[in-house]
């Protein structure tokens, strides 16, 4: 049996594993210089005693949104201004109550106590903003679309500026969902007056540069072959253009190289073989993580597709010789019917067919579904829907997730 000392003495490909973490913010963020300048421009008015503009940042996962905001806010706070930046991940703080409570904890000591309501938080926030010559609160809401009562939160925060004579409150919202703002109440949207910033996905050449920079400090010299970097970048660009995926893929390839190394004196090598093995290993894990963190209605749409894939359609549609309409493809209409059935099962009000179409597009963007348009040989105009992962696995993940979330939802509603 090996001891800890035996394990620690094994040759390793890594010089600093932390560098390969998606949470590590490097000194240089390649291909995001203009995005950083735009964020700085939006926040700079606070340096002159003027309320910063609201900013909403969009883009797929792994495009550098959070890293760029973290870089800018870190530099901003180092200047010691009258502004305070509070960062919240809205997957954890997913209600107006939780956001307000967490945002004020570091500003108002009394908020640490429990039992206060929204009115108390709101008034304390106004008091803090107007203290002295006026202060600025910049709330960074990462994955802002995960807040259940987002309309109420945005309306409260933006309208608070009408009640203060000095200082103010500004928002930086970060979202993977390009269309989430369309779901806001018109009053909330009209109160934002925000600046928008889009983060594009990385191409293969850009990902290879990012990986090379990280590998130079994260791996030992000579541990990663150039062809392995190129393959990792190309595979990641083909899948999503996601830098997080690329980093995770290279990290896992390094771990596989260590695990399979038979020579205790030789430095393990990351080759194309290790990258291919890593790709097979993490694709399923990433899909499970993506499914678990979907909003409930998107989970139900995906569950509808999985149910129909396993059990067949509840309705019969006439397919007029369209080769696209093979048995493995489903019609968006029958998916909508099954989604409505599931909503009734979970005591939810179904969203409209327009939102159903948006959910399908969001799921396609995450790689969980494939959508194709019907051809002229098909009666009417519809989309064909095909599942991207094993249906039985998806049913198990979503059913378990929805059931476990029911208890958390009830607790959250009581708190709110």
Structural domain span for residue 227 = 203-292
Q: Are residues 303 and 227 in the same domain?
A: no
Look at residue 217 and tell me if it is in a domain: yes
Look at residue 23 and tell me if it is in a domain: no
Q: Are residues 178 and 272 in the same domain?
A: no
Q: Are residues 178 and 64 in the same domain?
A: yes
Q: Are 388 and 368 in contact (CB under 8 A)?
A: yes
pLDDT tens profile 351-402: 999 899 989 988 887 778 888 876 555 555 578 899 888 888 899 999 988 8
Look at residue 3 and tell me if it is in a domain: no
Q: Are 370 and 347 in contact (CB under 8 A)?
A: no
Is the pTM of the predicted complex or chain greater than 0.75? Answer: no
Other beta carbons within 10 Å of 408: 10
Look at residue 12 and tell me if it is in a domain: no
Q: Are residues 279 and 261 in the same domain?
A: yes
pLDDT tens profile 123-144: 999 999 998 888 999 999 999 9
Domain boundary (270, 292, 314) is at: 292
More confident residue, 284 or 78: 78
Q: Are residues 182 and 207 in the same domain?
A: no
Look at residue 7 and tell me if it is in a domain: no
The CATH code of the domain that includes 383 is 1.10.10.10
User: What was the pLDDT predicted at 7?
Assistant: 62
**From CA 179, how far away is CA 268, in angstroms rounded?**
45
The CATH code of the domain that includes 184 is 3.40.50.300
Burial 78-99 (b: 16+ CB within 10 A, else e): eeebebbbbbbbbeebbbbbbb
With a cut of 90, say whether residue 20 has pLDDT above it.
Answer: yes
Look at residue 381 and tell me if it is in a domain: yes
Look at residue 373 and tell me if it is in a domain: yes
Q: Are residues 332 and 360 in the same domain?
A: yes
Helix %, strand %, coil % of the chain (to 5): 55, 10, 35
User: What was the pLDDT predicted at 11?
Assistant: 81
Q: Which of 221-230, 237-246, 274-283 has the highest mean pLDDT?
A: 221-230
**Which residues lie closer than 8 Å to 40 by C-beta, 6 or more apart?**
72, 75, 76
User: What was the pLDDT predicted at 411?
Assistant: 37
Q: How many domains does the chain have?
A: 3
Domain boundary (159, 176, 198) is at: 198
Q: Are residues 139 and 123 in the same domain?
A: yes
Q: Are residues 142 and 191 in the same domain?
A: yes
Q: Are residues 62 and 105 in the same domain?
A: yes
Q: Are residues 79 and 166 in the same domain?
A: yes
Question: In the sheet that 195-198 helps form, which strands lie side by side, from edge to edge?
Answer: 83-89, 136-142, 168-175, 55-58, 195-198
Residue closest to 145 by CA, chosen among 188, 82, 94, 205? 94
With a cut of 70, say whether residue 415 has pLDDT above it.
Answer: no
Bridge partners (DSSP) listed for residue 195: 55
Domain boundary (198, 230, 257) is at: 198
pLDDT tens profile 85-111: 999 999 889 999 999 999 998 788 777
pLDDT tens profile 41-70: 999 999 888 999 899 999 988 999 999 999
pLDDT tens profile 322-348: 444 345 689 999 999 999 999 999 999
Look at residue 15 and tell me if it is in a domain: no
Q: Are residues 248 and 152 in the same domain?
A: no
User: What was the pLDDT predicted at 325?
Assistant: 39
Q: Are residues 283 and 305 in the same domain?
A: no
Cα atoms in the 13 Å half-sphere on the side-chain side of 78: 6
């Amino acid at each position: 049996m090996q001891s800890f000392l035996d394990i620690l003495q094994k040759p390793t490909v890594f010089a600093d594993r932390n560098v390969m973490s998606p949470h590590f913010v490097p000194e240089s963020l390649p291909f995001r210089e203009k995005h950083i300048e735009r964020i700085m421009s939006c926040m700079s008015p606070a340096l002159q005693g003027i309320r910063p503009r609201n900013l909403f940042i969009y883009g797929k996962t792994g495009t550098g949104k959070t890293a760029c905001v973290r870089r800018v806010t870190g530099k901003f706070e180092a200047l010691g201004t009258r502004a305070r930046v509070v960062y919240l991940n809205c997957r954890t703080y997913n209600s107006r109550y939780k956001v307000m409570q967490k945002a004020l904890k570091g500003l108002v000591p009394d908020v640490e106590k429990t039992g206060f309501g929204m009115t108390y938080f709101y008034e304390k926030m106004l008091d803090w903003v107007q203290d002295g010559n006026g202060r600025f609160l910049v709330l960074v809401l990462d994955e802002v679309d995960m807040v259940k009562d987002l309309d109420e939160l945005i309306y409260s925060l933006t309208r608070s500026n009408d009640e203060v004579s000095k200082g103010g409150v500004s928002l930086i919202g970060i979202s993977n969902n390009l269309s989430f703002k369309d779901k806001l109440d018109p009053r909330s949207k009209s109160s934002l007056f925000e600046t928008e910033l889009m983060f594009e996905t990385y191409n293969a050449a850009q990902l290879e540069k990012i990986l090379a920079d990280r590998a130079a400090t994260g791996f030992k010299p000579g541990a990663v072959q150039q062809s392995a970097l190129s393959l990792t970048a190309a595979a990641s660009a083909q899948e999503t253009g996601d830098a997080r995926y690329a980093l995770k893929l290279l990290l896992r390839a390094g771990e596989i190289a260590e695990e399979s190394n038979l020579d205790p004196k030789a430095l393990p090598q990351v080759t194309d073989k290790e990258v291919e093995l890593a790709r097979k290993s993490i694709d399923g894990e990433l899909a499970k993580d993506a499914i678990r963190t979907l909003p409930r209605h998107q989970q139900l749409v995906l569950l509808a597709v999985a149910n129909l894939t396993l059990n067949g359609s509840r309705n019969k549609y006439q397919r007029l010789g369209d080769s696209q309409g093979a048995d493995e493809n489903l019609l968006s209409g029958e998916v909508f019917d099954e989604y409505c059935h599931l909503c009734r099962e979970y005591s939810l009000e179904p969203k409209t067919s327009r939102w159903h179409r948006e959910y399908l597009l969001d799921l396609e963007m995450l790689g969980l579904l494939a959508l194709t348009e019907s051809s002229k040989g098909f009666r009417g105009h519809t989309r064909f829907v095909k599942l991207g992962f094993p249906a039985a696995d998806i049913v198990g993940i979503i059913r378990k997730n929805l059931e476990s979330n029911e208890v958390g939802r009830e607790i959250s509603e009581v708190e709110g």
